[in-house]
Chain A
Amino acid sequence: MRQLRGKLAPYLLSLPSWVYLLVFFLIPLASMLGMALAVGDPLSGYTMSDNFQEFVAAFTGYEDAFARSFWYGTASTVITLSVAYPVAYWIAFYGGRHKSTYLFLIMLPFFVSFVIRVLAWEFILSDQGFLFGPLKELGLLPRNFHLLSTQWAVIGGLVYNSFAYYVLPLYVVLEKIDRRLVRAANDLYASPATAFMKIILPLSAPGVFAGFLLVFVTNVGDFVNAALLGGPGTYMIGNIIQDSYFENQDYPMAAALSSILMLMLMIAILLYSKVFGTDTIQEYAA
Chain B
Amino acid sequence: MSQDDQNAGDRLQAFYRGLTQPRLTRQNFLRGSGAALMAALAPQIAQAETVTDWAAWWAKQKPTKEFVFANWPLYIDVDSDGKTHPTLNAFTKQTGIKVKYQEVIQDDPSFYAKIAPVLKSGQATGYDLMVITDGWYLTELLLQKFLVPLWREKVPNFDKYAGPSVVNPPYDPGNKHSMVWQSGLTGIGYNPKLTKREITSIDDLWDPAFAGHIGMFSDVTELGPFGMMKLGINPTTSTPADWEKAAAILQEQKAKGLVRQYYDQSYITALENGDIWVCMAWSGDIYQANSKGYKDLKFVVPKEGCNIWHDNMCIPVGAKNPLSALEWMNYYYTPEVCGLVEDYVNYICPVPAAKDYILNVIKDPAVANSPLVFPPESELARAHEFRAFKNYAEYQKWINTFNPIVQG
Chain A interface (Cβ within 8 Å of chain B)? 30-31, 34-35, 38, 40-43, 45-48, 62, 64-65, 119, 122-123, 126-129, 144, 146, 148-149, 227-228, 230-233, 235, 239-240, 243, 246-250
Contact = CB atoms under 8 A, between A and B. Distances in A.
Contacts of B181: none
B50 to A, nearest CB: 15
Nearest to B260: A149
B51 interface: no
A132 B41 CA distance: 52
Nearest to B110: A246
Contacts of B368: none
14 contacts: A35-B40, A38-B43, A40-B43, A41-B393, A43-B391, A45-B39, A47-B44, A146-B212, A146-B260, A232-B406, A233-B408, A243-B406, A247-B109, A247-B219
Interface string B25-60: 000000000000101111111000000000000000
Contacts of B399: 247-248, 250
B37 A31 contact: yes
Nearest to A127: B275
Contacts of A64: 408
Contacts of A149: 260-261, 275
B200 interface: no
Contacts of A230: 261
B43 A232 contact: no
A34 to B, nearest CB: 6
Interface string B237-275: 000000000000000001000011110101001100111
A148 B269 CA distance: 13
A122 B269 contact: yes
Cβ-closest 10 pairs across A and B: A46-B43, A126-B273, A246-B109, A128-B274, A41-B392, A45-B45, A231-B261, A127-B275, A235-B407, A248-B399
Interface string B265-288: 010011001110000000000000
A169 to B, nearest CB: 33
B143 A43 contact: yes
B144 interface: yes
A38 B44 CA distance: 11
Interface string B133-149: 00010001001100000
A129 B140 contact: no
Interface of B: 37, 39-45, 109-110, 113, 136, 140, 143-144, 212, 219-220, 254, 259-262, 264, 266, 269-270, 273-275, 391-393, 396, 399, 403, 406-408
Contacts of A41: 392-393, 396
Nearest to B262: A232
Nearest to A38: B43
Contacts of B269: 119, 122-123
Contact of A129 (B109, B273, B407, B408): B273
Contacts of B45: 45
Nearest to A227: B264
Contacts of A126: 270, 273-275
Nearest to B37: A31
B392 A43 contact: yes
Contacts of B140: 42-43, 249
A31 B41 contact: yes
B407 A243 contact: yes
Contact of B273 (A46, A127, A233): A127
A232 B274 contact: no
Contacts of B41: 30-31, 34
B403 A231 contact: no
A246 B112 CA distance: 9
Contact of B43 (A47, A228, A248, A249): A47
A123 B273 contact: yes
Contacts of A122: 266, 269
Q: Considering residues A30, A123, A233, which has the most beta carbons from chain B within 10 angstroms of its beta carbon?
A: A233
A168 to B, nearest CB: 31
Q: Considering residues A126, A243, A249, which has the most beta carbons from chain B within 10 angstroms of its beta carbon?
A: A249
A61 B260 CA distance: 24
A48 B43 CA distance: 7
A30 B41 CA distance: 8
A246 B399 CA distance: 12
Contacts of A46: 43
A60 B406 CA distance: 18
Given A42-B392, A146-B212, A233-B408, A243 B273 contact: no
A35 B40 CA distance: 7
B206 to A, nearest CB: 15
A41 B266 CA distance: 31
Contacts of A45: 39, 43-45
Nearest to A30: B41
Contacts of A247: 109, 219-220, 399
B255 to A, nearest CB: 10
Contacts of B264: 227
Given A122-B269, A248-B403, A232 B259 contact: yes
Given A42-B140, A45-B44, A235-B408, A248 B113 contact: no
Nearest to A235: B407
Contacts of B408: 64, 232-233, 235
A247 B391 CA distance: 15
Nearest to B211: A144
Q: Considering residues B40, B254, B270, B406, which has the most beta carbons from chain A within 10 angstroms of its beta carbon?
A: B40
Contacts of B219: 247
Q: Considering residues A42, A65, A146, A148, which has the most beta carbons from chain B within 10 angstroms of its beta carbon?
A: A42
A252 to B, nearest CB: 10
Nearest to B399: A248
Given A126-B275, A231-B260, A239 B396 contact: no
A146 B277 CA distance: 14
B220 to A, nearest CB: 8
Given A43-B144, A43-B391, A232-B262, A127 B274 contact: yes
Contact of A31 (B40, B266, B393): B40
Contacts of A243: 403, 406-407
Nearest to A233: B408
Contacts of A248: 396, 399, 403
Contacts of A239: 407
